[in-house]
Structure 1
Amino acid sequence: MIDELSVPIIPLTERTAILPIVGTMDTFRAKRLQEKALLEIERQKFKRMIIDLSGVAYMDTAVVSHLFKIVDGFMLLGCEAIVTGIRSEVANTMIELGVSIADRVITKADLQQALEELKIIS
Protein backbone atom coordinates (compact mmCIF):
# COMPACT_ATOMS: atom_id res chain seq x y z
CA MET A 1 0.00 0.00 0.00
CA ILE A 2 2.80 2.42 0.90
CA ASP A 3 4.58 1.67 -2.38
CA GLU A 4 1.39 2.41 -4.33
CA LEU A 5 0.97 5.75 -2.57
CA SER A 6 4.59 6.76 -3.12
CA VAL A 7 4.14 6.62 -6.92
CA PRO A 8 0.54 7.68 -7.61
CA ILE A 9 0.03 7.58 -11.38
CA ILE A 10 -3.35 9.13 -12.17
CA PRO A 11 -4.83 8.50 -15.63
CA LEU A 12 -6.40 11.68 -17.07
CA THR A 13 -7.36 10.28 -20.46
CA GLU A 14 -6.81 6.95 -22.17
CA ARG A 15 -3.28 7.93 -23.21
CA THR A 16 -2.34 10.71 -20.75
CA ALA A 17 -1.52 10.43 -17.06
CA ILE A 18 -0.14 12.58 -14.29
CA LEU A 19 2.58 11.63 -11.85
CA PRO A 20 2.38 14.08 -8.94
CA ILE A 21 5.49 13.94 -6.81
CA VAL A 22 5.00 15.16 -3.26
CA GLY A 23 7.41 15.40 -0.34
CA THR A 24 11.10 14.65 -0.20
CA MET A 25 12.69 12.69 -3.04
CA ASP A 26 15.56 10.45 -2.06
CA THR A 27 17.41 7.90 -4.19
CA PHE A 28 15.32 4.96 -2.93
CA ARG A 29 12.09 6.73 -3.81
CA ALA A 30 13.47 7.79 -7.20
CA LYS A 31 14.35 4.18 -8.00
CA ARG A 32 10.84 3.04 -6.96
CA LEU A 33 9.33 5.81 -9.09
CA GLN A 34 11.40 4.65 -12.06
CA GLU A 35 10.32 1.03 -11.74
CA LYS A 36 6.62 1.70 -11.24
CA ALA A 37 6.28 4.51 -13.78
CA LEU A 38 8.01 2.56 -16.57
CA LEU A 39 5.89 -0.50 -15.81
CA GLU A 40 2.65 1.53 -15.88
CA ILE A 41 3.60 3.29 -19.13
CA GLU A 42 4.15 -0.07 -20.76
CA ARG A 43 1.06 -1.68 -19.22
CA GLN A 44 -1.40 1.13 -19.93
CA LYS A 45 0.23 2.35 -23.17
CA PHE A 46 0.45 5.96 -22.01
CA LYS A 47 1.74 8.32 -24.69
CA ARG A 48 2.09 11.36 -22.43
CA MET A 49 3.07 11.64 -18.76
CA ILE A 50 2.83 14.90 -16.84
CA ILE A 51 5.32 14.91 -13.98
CA ASP A 52 4.26 17.54 -11.45
CA LEU A 53 7.09 18.59 -9.14
CA SER A 54 5.26 21.44 -7.39
CA GLY A 55 4.83 19.37 -4.22
CA VAL A 56 8.48 18.37 -3.89
CA ALA A 57 9.88 19.68 -0.64
CA TYR A 58 13.52 18.76 -1.28
CA MET A 59 15.47 16.97 -3.98
CA ASP A 60 19.21 16.39 -3.69
CA THR A 61 21.58 16.62 -6.63
CA ALA A 62 21.77 12.87 -7.25
CA VAL A 63 17.99 12.64 -7.43
CA VAL A 64 17.66 15.56 -9.87
CA SER A 65 20.02 13.83 -12.27
CA HIS A 66 18.25 10.48 -11.78
CA LEU A 67 14.81 12.02 -12.38
CA PHE A 68 15.77 13.12 -15.86
CA LYS A 69 17.28 9.73 -16.62
CA ILE A 70 13.82 8.36 -15.77
CA VAL A 71 12.39 10.75 -18.36
CA ASP A 72 14.81 9.21 -20.88
CA GLY A 73 13.26 5.85 -19.99
CA PHE A 74 9.81 7.27 -20.72
CA MET A 75 11.03 8.33 -24.15
CA LEU A 76 12.39 4.83 -24.82
CA LEU A 77 8.83 3.56 -24.29
CA GLY A 78 7.38 6.17 -26.66
CA CYS A 79 5.97 8.33 -23.88
CA GLU A 80 6.38 12.10 -24.02
CA ALA A 81 7.22 13.76 -20.70
CA ILE A 82 5.86 17.11 -19.60
CA VAL A 83 7.37 18.47 -16.38
CA THR A 84 5.46 21.05 -14.39
CA GLY A 85 6.09 22.95 -11.18
CA ILE A 86 9.88 23.03 -11.16
CA ARG A 87 10.84 25.09 -8.14
CA SER A 88 13.70 27.56 -8.17
CA GLU A 89 15.80 25.34 -5.86
CA VAL A 90 15.51 22.43 -8.30
CA ALA A 91 16.25 24.73 -11.25
CA ASN A 92 19.38 25.97 -9.46
CA THR A 93 20.49 22.39 -8.82
CA MET A 94 19.97 21.53 -12.49
CA ILE A 95 22.01 24.54 -13.56
CA GLU A 96 24.82 23.62 -11.14
CA LEU A 97 24.85 20.02 -12.42
CA GLY A 98 24.74 21.09 -16.04
CA VAL A 99 21.55 19.07 -16.56
CA SER A 100 19.95 20.23 -19.80
CA ILE A 101 16.41 19.06 -20.53
CA ALA A 102 15.33 21.56 -23.18
CA ASP A 103 15.86 19.13 -26.06
CA ARG A 104 13.94 16.20 -24.55
CA VAL A 105 11.33 17.47 -22.10
CA ILE A 106 8.49 19.92 -22.34
CA THR A 107 8.26 22.15 -19.28
CA LYS A 108 5.31 24.21 -18.11
CA ALA A 109 5.09 26.61 -15.20
CA ASP A 110 2.34 24.68 -13.46
CA LEU A 111 -0.06 21.79 -13.85
CA GLN A 112 -2.98 24.02 -14.83
CA GLN A 113 -1.05 25.46 -17.77
CA ALA A 114 -0.20 21.97 -19.03
CA LEU A 115 -3.79 20.73 -18.70
CA GLU A 116 -5.15 23.80 -20.49
CA GLU A 117 -2.68 23.48 -23.37
CA LEU A 118 -3.53 19.79 -23.74
CA LYS A 119 -7.22 20.78 -23.74
CA ILE A 120 -7.94 18.49 -20.79
CA ILE A 121 -9.44 21.45 -18.90
CA SER A 122 -10.60 24.81 -20.16
Structure 2
Amino acid sequence: MIEEKVLIEIGKTRIQTLIMDLSGIMKMEPEVMDHLMRIIDGTSLMGCETVITGLRAEVVKNMISVGMRLNEKAQTLGTLQQALNKYLLS
Protein backbone atom coordinates (compact mmCIF):
# COMPACT_ATOMS: atom_id res chain seq x y z
CA MET A 1 0.00 0.00 0.00
CA ILE A 2 2.83 2.41 0.85
CA GLU A 3 4.64 1.53 -2.36
CA GLU A 4 1.56 2.27 -4.47
CA LYS A 5 0.86 5.59 -2.72
CA VAL A 6 4.46 6.74 -3.04
CA LEU A 7 4.66 5.91 -6.74
CA ILE A 8 1.30 7.56 -7.48
CA GLU A 9 2.32 10.76 -5.67
CA ILE A 10 5.69 10.87 -7.45
CA GLY A 11 3.87 10.59 -10.76
CA LYS A 12 1.22 13.20 -9.90
CA THR A 13 3.41 15.83 -8.29
CA ARG A 14 6.74 15.13 -10.02
CA ILE A 15 8.58 14.70 -6.72
CA GLN A 16 12.34 14.82 -7.30
CA THR A 17 13.49 13.77 -3.83
CA LEU A 18 11.71 11.41 -1.44
CA ILE A 19 12.88 11.57 2.17
CA MET A 20 12.00 8.49 4.21
CA ASP A 21 12.62 8.85 7.93
CA LEU A 22 12.98 5.47 9.63
CA SER A 23 13.91 6.73 13.09
CA GLY A 24 10.78 5.15 14.59
CA ILE A 25 11.77 1.68 13.37
CA MET A 26 13.36 -0.42 16.12
CA LYS A 27 13.55 -3.69 14.17
CA MET A 28 13.12 -4.52 10.50
CA GLU A 29 12.27 -7.98 9.24
CA PRO A 30 13.84 -9.21 5.97
CA GLU A 31 10.45 -8.98 4.21
CA VAL A 32 10.17 -5.31 5.18
CA MET A 33 13.73 -4.69 4.00
CA ASP A 34 12.83 -6.25 0.67
CA HIS A 35 9.74 -4.05 0.39
CA LEU A 36 11.82 -0.96 1.21
CA MET A 37 14.21 -1.86 -1.61
CA ARG A 38 11.29 -2.23 -4.04
CA ILE A 39 10.08 1.24 -3.10
CA ILE A 40 13.57 2.65 -3.65
CA ASP A 41 13.85 0.86 -7.01
CA GLY A 42 10.44 2.14 -8.09
CA THR A 43 11.18 5.73 -7.15
CA SER A 44 14.48 5.55 -8.99
CA LEU A 45 12.77 4.29 -12.14
CA MET A 46 10.53 7.36 -11.96
CA GLY A 47 13.51 9.70 -11.73
CA CYS A 48 13.16 10.39 -8.02
CA GLU A 49 16.09 10.26 -5.62
CA THR A 50 15.42 8.53 -2.29
CA VAL A 51 17.04 9.70 0.93
CA ILE A 52 16.83 7.45 4.00
CA THR A 53 17.28 9.00 7.43
CA GLY A 54 17.23 7.87 11.05
CA LEU A 55 18.50 4.32 10.73
CA ARG A 56 19.22 2.84 14.15
CA ALA A 57 22.29 0.72 14.77
CA GLU A 58 20.21 -2.43 15.32
CA VAL A 59 18.44 -1.99 11.98
CA VAL A 60 21.71 -1.32 10.17
CA LYS A 61 23.24 -4.44 11.75
CA ASN A 62 20.31 -6.54 10.46
CA MET A 63 20.58 -4.98 7.00
CA ILE A 64 24.27 -5.79 6.84
CA SER A 65 23.68 -9.37 7.99
CA VAL A 66 21.29 -10.03 5.08
CA GLY A 67 23.57 -8.30 2.58
CA MET A 68 21.37 -5.25 2.00
CA ARG A 69 23.22 -2.23 0.61
CA LEU A 70 21.20 0.94 0.76
CA ASN A 71 24.10 3.20 -0.12
CA GLU A 72 24.15 1.84 -3.68
CA LYS A 73 20.53 2.86 -4.36
CA ALA A 74 19.70 5.66 -1.95
CA GLN A 75 21.48 8.35 -0.06
CA THR A 76 21.52 7.95 3.71
CA LEU A 77 21.76 10.67 6.32
CA GLY A 78 21.84 10.32 10.08
CA THR A 79 18.82 12.47 10.89
CA LEU A 80 15.72 13.91 9.29
CA GLN A 81 17.00 17.37 10.25
CA GLN A 82 20.13 16.83 8.14
CA ALA A 83 17.97 15.92 5.14
CA LEU A 84 15.68 18.90 5.61
CA ASN A 85 18.66 21.22 5.90
CA LYS A 86 20.22 19.78 2.77
CA TYR A 87 17.14 19.60 0.55
CA LEU A 88 14.82 22.32 1.81
CA LEU A 89 17.06 25.02 3.21
CA SER A 90 19.84 25.07 0.64
TM-score scaled by length of structure 2: 0.90
For 1:37 and 1:63, locate their aligned partners in 2 and report how far apart those are by CA, in whole Å.
16
List gaps (5 residues or longer) in structure 2. Answer: none
How far did 1:56 drift?
Answer: 2.0
Q: Which residue of 1 aligns with 2:73?
A: 104
Q: Deviations over 1:1-58 (max 9, x none)?
A: xxxxxxxxxxxxxxxxxxxxxxxxxxxxxxx111111111111110100000012243
TM-score scaled by length of structure 1: 0.68
Q: Which residue of 2 aligns with 1:63?
A: 32
Q: Which residue of 2 aligns with 1:114?
A: 83
Would you tell me which structure has more helix in proportion to its own residues? 2
Contact 1:64 1:90 (8 Å CA) reproduced: no
Q: Percent identity?
A: 40
Would you tell me which structure has more strand in proportion to its own residues? 1
For 1:94 and 1:70, locate their aligned partners in 2 and report how far apart those are by CA, in whole Å.
16
Q: What value does the CA root-mean-square deviation take over the aligned residues?
A: 1.4
Q: Which residue of 2 aligns with 1:33?
A: 2
